[in-house]
Amino acid sequence: GSSGSSGPATDWLSAETFESDLDETRVPEVPSSLHVRPLVTSIVVSWTPPENQNIVVRGYAIGYGIGSPHAQTIKVDYKQRYYTIENLDPSSHYVITLKAFNNVGEGIPLYESAVTRPHTSGPSSG
């Protein structure tokens, strides 16, 4: 319920975003790049931010899963440029998605797939 609103609701029309010139009226654009480096039980994900720096990016949403990126979702800070997905299964085909988001919503995702390495105990004999 919107009860107890003080003052006229039209004030926001004249209010300029003086604190920053960044635009948060639309979702962020797609990140510039996405790189995955599969290990045995983890995948190192690194990326670069969207080329359009004028739209606010609050953070990045990383989705991953075997065959589908919707099994798990991790949200990281907008300052981060890499993340290590851990506790994975060896020799499994993971799909990773990365999208930037802000208060408006989530942008277009980038997709990458990676196959984790087979589990080897000790020196490989063969």
> Which of the four pLDDT bands, split at 50, 70 and 90, describes residue 66?
very high
CA-based nearest residue to 96, from 115, 81, 124: 115
Instruction: Compute φ and ψ for 32, nearest 5 degrees.
Output: -65, -40
Residue 63 near residue 72, CB atoms below 8 Å: yes
pLDDT of residue 100 exceeding 90, the answer is yes
pTM metric for this prediction = 0.77
> What's the pLDDT at 42?
97
C-alpha to C-alpha distance for 58 and 17, rounded to whole angstroms: 17
Domains and CATH numbers, the chain: 21-115 (2.60.40.10)
Residue 23 near residue 16, CB atoms below 8 Å: no
- SS3 (DSSP) at 62: strand
Question: Mean pLDDT score of the chain, rounded to an integer?
Answer: 88
Residue 88 near residue 42, CB atoms below 8 Å: yes
**Cα separations in angstroms, 1 against 4, 49, 98:** 9, 38, 35
Single-letter code of the amino acid located at 57: V
